[in-house]
Chains A and B, each alone.
Chain A
Amino acid sequence: MSVRINLHPNLLQFTNDQAIVEVNGSTVGECLDELVKQFPQIKRGLFDKDGKLLNYVDVYVNYESSYPEELAKPVKDGDELHITLIIAGG
């Protein structure tokens, strides 16, 4: 199943500036696992040392928040993910 992941600009440092990555997976977690397989450096931008999603990372599925299921949230072929990071400047 093909899912498009749109990456926040601050994550592009881990993907050679590739902003959209195509992955396969049936949950958000599986999609992120494949993203990490393609770009191993991005792991430290998404997960803590225990493998939990960092609390300033948010994943949207088809423009709706994946919270509270987050990594367990099912996805289907053609879905679009956005990975965003909290921004706090004023």
Chain B
Amino acid sequence: MLTREARERYDRQIMIRGFGQEGQGRLKRARVFVAGAGGLGCAAATYLTAAGVGMIRIVDQDRVELNNLNRQVLHWQGDIGKRKVDSATQKLRKLNQEVKIEAIGEMITEANISQLVAGFDLIVDAVDNMPTRYLLNRVALEKNIPFFHGAVYGFEGRVMTIIPGETACLRCVYRGVIPEEKFPVIGVTPAVIGCIQATEVIKYIVGIGQLLTNRLLVYDGLNMRFTEFRLKRDPNCEHCGKGGKK
């Protein structure tokens, strides 16, 4: 049962057909793990907080630098030098006090990932490197947690939704690793992709619409074009196939 204040705050989304107070209640009970407080994480966490998910755990080991500010919109000039998770948490709490925001300033590793995601219903991929994405993909499959992938470069973004045991996973699509690099990006690109990730998370929790599963959506901001590639599960996938752990 929503409070009078909650009914007013979320009035416009409760009005959406198929959403209703029941959908809002589902959001309130959801626990979302956001891996990364950079461009994607700032966008996704902002809209998930505004939408009223129950709890967000945001994990990132970095501190705010001046060159983050063109895209990581939860970090402001006065936050330079602070831990990103603290900077993000401070703004998100101001946006919506009803949402429990938990900040963890750690690097996601093979050793801690299982514990970090324990008890969470969904994982948002907002990291900036492939090895951590593969770790997240594997743990999502092992723990049967839906996984929402996003990545950006320049004016380009990609996004897909993974339902463990049912749909193609990240490793079915990608097998390689590109060298870690300082990548070019304009702030609007992670804003677009992070918002699509948040859209998918909200749809999944509320149980409406068609998810971006078995599809890789590629956003080309420079030519303002969306392209969709059809994906299939790889039976020999080392994460979700017969050769994998699951």
Interface residues of A (CB under 8 A from B): 9-10, 54-58, 60, 63-65, 67-68, 82, 84-90
Contact = CB atoms under 8 A, between A and B. Distances in A.
User: In which size bucket is the chain B interface?
Assistant: 35 or more
Contacts of B117: none
Contacts of A86: 130, 151, 174, 176-178
B163 interface: no
Contacts of A90: 36, 38-41, 125-129, 150-152, 190
- Most chain-A CB neighbours within 10 Å: which of B133, B150, B156? B156
B126 A65 contact: no
B242 interface: no
Given A86-B178, A88-B151, 13 more contacts: A9-B155, A56-B178, A58-B173, A65-B232, A67-B234, A82-B229, A87-B157, A88-B183, A89-B128, A90-B40, A90-B127, A90-B128, A90-B150
B226 interface: no
Contact of A88 (B129, B220, B227, B236): B129
Contacts, number: 82
**Majority SS at the chain B contact face:** mixed
B243 to A, nearest CB: 12
Contacts of A54: 176
B173 A88 contact: no
Nearest to A10: B153
B230 A64 contact: yes
B185 interface: yes
Interface in B169-211: 173-178, 180, 183, 185, 190
A65 B171 CA distance: 13
